[in-house]
Structure 1
């Protein structure tokens, strides 16, 4: 017969508090973004940013700032990670600061781009 010390499980309140703290931290890491005049939808390695046109629109995503500089027709100028890019709908991804940036859509009201981490960076 082996003598083992008795282990007492943590009280349910402590266990629940630990679970909620872990969930809150996980959501903060996943979100990791803030915006002004824009909305974001982020995962671990990519975010879709929808900028409202006609306002000073920017978002902080994946640790970098993305900003709408201007839009005319199907051509959009954005600044991502300090680099200014001119994008058109359907164009291959353009690199900026270790991120791949594509233009998803342009309407009279909004501009939607996708910013993703480049593999290997």
Structure 2
């Protein structure tokens, strides 16, 4: 019976831990935001009318205000206003507003060039 060399076992280890790292890269703070993340993007559902933020992709995303269909967010410290159904860039991330309702704002943040 032949076993894999230690070097090969160590090379496989990061790939086994990758799903754990991807899950850990995305979390909501408190009950004011929920997140659903993939490898390089997260969809964040913010509650309106409260301080709502989420830690995703190594950054903090905050809902600042909503005026009609214009959503103002703070992404990694940069303030950006995005119309619903459209997208903008902030700190190397693509930010798009998926929907705005009286109770929730759904935002997709992808990329990760950082800034």
Over the aligned positions, Cα root-mean-square deviation in angstroms equals 2.6
TM-score, normalised with respect to structure 1: 0.74
Instruction: Report the TM-score when normalising by structure 2.
Output: 0.77
Higher Rg: 1
In 1: Cα distance, 2:112 partner to 2:28 partner = 22
Which structure 2 segments of 5+ residues have no match?
4-12
Correspondence list, 1:95-106, <5 A: 95-106=89-100
Segments of 4+ moved more than 6 angstroms = none
Q: Which runs of 5+ in 1 are unaligned?
A: 1-5, 9-18
Normalized per residue, the structure richer in strand is 2
The number of equivalent residue pairs is 104
What corresponds to 2:9 in structure 1? none
Instruction: Give the Å deviation of 1:118.
Output: 6.1
1:15 corresponds to? none
Equivalence for 1:52: 47
